[in-house]
Amino acid sequence: MYEGVIIEKLFTKDLRFPTSLNSDGSDAMHTHPDYSCAYVILETNTGQKAHGMTFTLGRGTEVVICAIKALENLIIGQKVQDIYNNFGDFWRKLTSDNQLRWIGPEKGVMHLATAAIVNALWDLWARLEGKPVWKLLVDMSPEQLTSVIDFRYITDVITKDEAIKILKEKEDNKKAREFDLIKNGYPAYTTQVGWLGYSSEKVKSLCKKYLDQGFTAFKVKVGQNLDEDKKRCAMVRENIGSSNVLMVDANQVWCVDEAIDWMKSLAEYKPLWIEEPTSPDDILGHAKIAQALKQYGIGVATGEMCCNRVMFKQFLQAGALEFCQIDSARVGGINEILSIYLMAEKLKVKVCPHAGGVGLCEMVQHLQFWDYVSLSGTKEGKYIEYVDQQHEHFKTPVVIKSAAYMPPTDPGYSSEMFPSTMEKYEFPKGTYWQELANNK
């Protein structure tokens, strides 16, 4: 298959959207984010193009672009057949270059760059197969699926054979679940009501807007000022009612004991989870918080900045999280994310993907759909995050119906942006940024 198809070119784009102007996406730690991405376009000798990205917040995107360029040599000239026949091996080559790995390994900017490239490789594979990524994954046999994963460093929790066994056990009702997914979609929760920089009036009207659309779960940002948090949580609770779900997200601002005390004060508003209460690297800290908040019915959620499968493994092993928030633009792309899903399934932790960023909703839905059809087999108590931003730049934006993500049918990873978007928002030469510079 794909005989003679070679990856010939790799283009990068530094795309930045001025979201900080309206506080869209703001939280206690990232008060003025400009939603951005390091975007990759691959082109084959047959003229097939594929698109991938990793999410950034503005400044620093140029550093990720530089890291993508450092990996370029490992991609250009590769036969696609060789990549997809042994994708696990190829993924290891990409993450283990014996000189480059020194500036990772498998973390930080290098791993963001890996994610952008690997996302484009999956978009390419799905386009060559004429399927959306979720369907490509669903149609793989357990053996094929596990062949894309590098199990190094995680075999103490899950081996390839165990993973195959778990996937085989779920094969019986796959068709019925796929049918259900196509008909009913997958539940979403919204963060759009709760960006920290939004006024109370705006939060109130957004609660109404999303309630009217059928949303039943709402996330708000906390962590800068306890009195303000109490007021905001009380207001959102009052607006969404007692039977709907509230989540809160502190984006890493607290120390461990501070997180526990702060959350005890917010317990009366009955949040389902506290997200990123402290440093994303503090496994035992999260475990302590999880233990202390159990009696209040508050779970710990984290993962949007967890750097790789090894860290996820330890979070899962330590009982440090109840909601595992994989992110489609972090860790080393789909290959590594699949291993995290498999570990979460084995250790019985719910995966609720993170999607607050550019293109994250578009990509992450594919993974959760696969999880439902092929792995966990359930949507029970799980959601995909939804933010209502920047979808207009995508050729195949997410489709939300009655607060549920509906599975796409177009081939690929839903990651392609319009050329007009690139012309306008490429930094610094896009028309938007040029005009801004000239007006200054």
What amino acid positions are annotated as catalytic residues?
Answer: 221, 354
Q: Which of 249, 327, 345, 371 touches Mg ion (CB under 5 A)?
A: 249
Told to check if 251 binds ligand LFC by CB under 6 A, we report: yes
Told to check if 362 binds ligand LFC by CB under 6 A, we report: no
**Cβ 326 vs Cβ 356: under 8 Å:** no
Q: Which of 356, 359, 407, 412 touches ligand LFC (CB under 6 A)?
A: 356
DSSP letters of 33-95? ---EEEEEEEEETT--EEEEEEEE-STTHHHHHHHHHHHGGGTTT-BHHHHHHTHHHHHHHHH
Told to check if 346 binds ligand LFC by CB under 6 A, we report: no
Contact letters (x/-) for ligand LFC, 188-217, by CB under 6 A?
Answer: ---x--------------------------
The residues, any chain, with a CB within 8 Å of residue 397's CB and separated by 6 or more, are 362, 391, 414
Told to check if 16 binds ligand LFC by CB under 6 A, we report: no
Of the pair 356, 411, the CB lying nearest ligand LFC is at: 356
Q: Hey, which residues between 60 and 89 contact Mg ion (CB under 5 A)?
A: none
Q: In this structure, is the dihedral angle defined by the CA atoms of residues 47, 48, 54 and 57, taken in order, positive or negative?
A: positive
Told to check if 277 binds ligand LFC by CB under 6 A, we report: no
Residues in the chain: 440
Residue 246 falls in which region: left (phi positive, over 0), alpha (psi -120 to 50) or beta: beta
- Give the whole-angstrom CA distance, residue 52 versus residue 368: 18
H/E stretch holding 399 reads: strand 399-401
Of the pair 150, 249, the CB lying nearest Mg ion is at: 249
Q: How far is the CB of 94 from ligand LFC (least distance, A)?
A: 25
Token digits for 198? 């939004």
Of the pair 215, 273, the CB lying nearest Mg ion is at: 273
Stretch that binds ligand LFC, among 105-113, 159-167, 354-362, 422-430 (CB under 6 A): 354-362
- Give the whole-angstrom CA distance, residue 251 versus residue 254: 9
Of the pair 195, 405, the CB lying nearest Mg ion is at: 195
Q: Are strands 186-194 and 404-406 parallel, antiparallel or unpaired?
A: antiparallel
Q: How far is the CB of 218 from ligand LFC (least distance, A)?
A: 12
DSSP letters of 146-177? HHT---TTTTTT--HHHHHHHHHHT-TTHHHH
Q: Which of 33, 104, 333, 407 touches ligand LFC (CB under 6 A)?
A: 33
Q: Which of 177, 354, 382, 393 touches ligand LFC (CB under 6 A)?
A: 354
**Cβ 346 vs Cβ 158: under 8 Å:** yes
Decide which of ligand LFC, Mg ion, none touches 191; Cβ closer than 5 to 8 Å per partner kind: ligand LFC
Q: How far is the CB of 63 from ligand LFC (least distance, A)?
A: 17
Token digits for 302? 């984290």
**Cβ 343 vs Cβ 166: under 8 Å:** no
Contact letters (x/-) for ligand LFC, 375-394, by CB under 6 A?
Answer: ----------x---------
Told to check if 303 binds ligand LFC by CB under 6 A, we report: no
- Give the whole-angstrom CA distance, residue 90 versus residue 124: 15
Report, in angstroms and rounded to the nearest whole number, the Rg of the chain calculated over CA atoms.
Answer: 21
Q: Give the 3-state secondary structure of residue 274.
A: strand
Q: Write the secondary structure of 81-141 as one string of H (helix), E (strand) and C (coil).
A: HHHHHCHHHHHHHHHCCCCHHHHCCCCHHHHHHHHHHHHHHHHHHHHHHCCEHHHHHHCCC
Stretch that binds ligand LFC, among 23-31, 40-48, 106-114, 130-138 (CB under 6 A): 23-31
Of the pair 78, 389, the CB lying nearest ligand LFC is at: 389
Stretch that binds ligand LFC, among 1-9, 25-33, 102-110, 143-151 (CB under 6 A): 25-33
Stretch that binds Mg ion, among 11-19, 33-41, 170-178, 242-250 (CB under 5 A): 242-250
Told to check if 385 binds Mg ion by CB under 5 A, we report: no
Decide which of Mg ion, ligand LFC, none touches 288; Cβ closer than 5 to 8 Å per partner kind: none
Q: Which of 34, 229, 282, 304 touches ligand LFC (CB under 6 A)?
A: 304
Q: Hey, which residues between 45 and 74 contact ligand LFC (CB under 6 A)?
A: 57
Helical H runs in 302-359? 309-317, 334-346
Number of residues that bind Mg ion (CB under 5 A): 2
Of the pair 107, 330, the CB lying nearest Mg ion is at: 330
Residue 249 — φ and ψ, nearest 5°?
Answer: -135, 120
Interface contacts to ligand LFC, rule CB under 6 A:
25, 27, 30, 33, 57, 191, 249, 251, 304, 354, 356-357, 385
Interface contacts to Mg ion, rule CB under 5 A:
249, 275
